[in-house]
Amino acid sequence: MGDIAIIDYGAGNLRSVNNAVVKLGYQVGITNNAEEILRAKAVIFPGVGAAGDTMFTLDKMGLMPVVRQLAAENRPLLGICIGLQVLYTGTEEGGWFDCLDIIKGRVKKLPSGLKVPHMGWNQVKIKKSHPLFEGIPDSSNFYFVHSYYGDPEDKSLVIAETEYGVKFASCVGRGNLVAVQFHPERSGDLGLQIYENFFKFAGIK
């Protein structure tokens, strides 16, 4: 267990997130142990798939209070894809599921008329300067795969936007909390740069 913890609740992209962090040369642990997660200097909250199922699993594993505590204590936390969506108040996926309510707002379905999931490389337009995008050109392409998107009530939390039928917040953040809808671990060199930036931001190395 190093400085970095990846929250283990069986998310599909756990392995690739771990591979990316290892590739960058950091010490990382995949764990569902609350103490280990709370001891880490930086925590990654991965995810892919359905938000409702994720909430169910997090609840069953007793991880909801852990994520809430990380956010309440303003600890460096990086949410990815579903790890972003469950930070919101709730999601319309499968009717309505209450989520962690760390960021006020709803997770909504992408508009119909376009192919869903939104799958592939799309531009991330930086709206607000943030250390996460240090050295990354504006409107760079990152890999997305999702059918829902988060809509924060407080628009000042939006760090970057992406357009797919609707302009949505592809990166949001507050204090040391930051979360992206795209998959940096599947976005080539620029994606690895996002992780590197996050660790620097978290004061590691």
Partner 1 sequence: MLTKRIIPCLDVKGGRVVKGVKFKSHRDAGDPVELAAFYNEQGADELVFYDITASSDERPIMLDVVKRTANQIFIPLTVGGGLRTVEDMHRMLEAGADKVSINTAAVLRPELISEGAKRFGNQCIVLGMDAKRVTGSDPVRWEVYTHTGADGGQTSGIDAIKWACRAVDLGAGEIVVNSIDADGTKAGYDLELLRAISECVTVPVVASGGAGSPEDLYQALIVGKADAVLAASIFHYGTYTILETKKYLSGKGIPVRF
Q: Where in the sequence numbering do the catalytic residues fall?
A: 81, 183, 185
Q: Which is nearer to partner 1, 31 or 141 (CB)?
A: 141
Instruction: Tell me the Ramachandran region of residue 131: left when phi exceeds 0, alpha when psi lies from -120 to 50, beta otherwise.
Output: alpha
DSSP label at residue 23: H
Rule CB under 8 A: say whether 26 interacts with partner 1: no
Work out how close the CB of 12 gets to partner 1 at its nearest, in angstroms, rounded to a whole number. 6
Rule CB under 8 A: say whether 143 interacts with partner 1: yes
Binding to partner 1 in span 55-114, by CB under 8 A:
112
Contact assessment for residue 86 and residue 54, using Cβ atoms and an 8 Å cutoff: yes
Cα 119 → chain centroid: 17
Among 39, 49, 106, 166, binds partner 1 (CB under 8 A): 49
Kindly compute the dihedral angle of the four CA atoms of residues 109, 144, 162, 30, in this order, to the nearest 10 degrees. 100
- How far CA 128 is from CA of 84, 157, 161, in Å, comes to 18, 9, 10
Work out how close the CB of 117 gets to partner 1 at its nearest, in angstroms, rounded to a whole number. 5
Q: Which is nearer to partner 1, 26 or 143 (CB)?
A: 143
Q: Which is nearer to partner 1, 38 or 50 (CB)?
A: 50
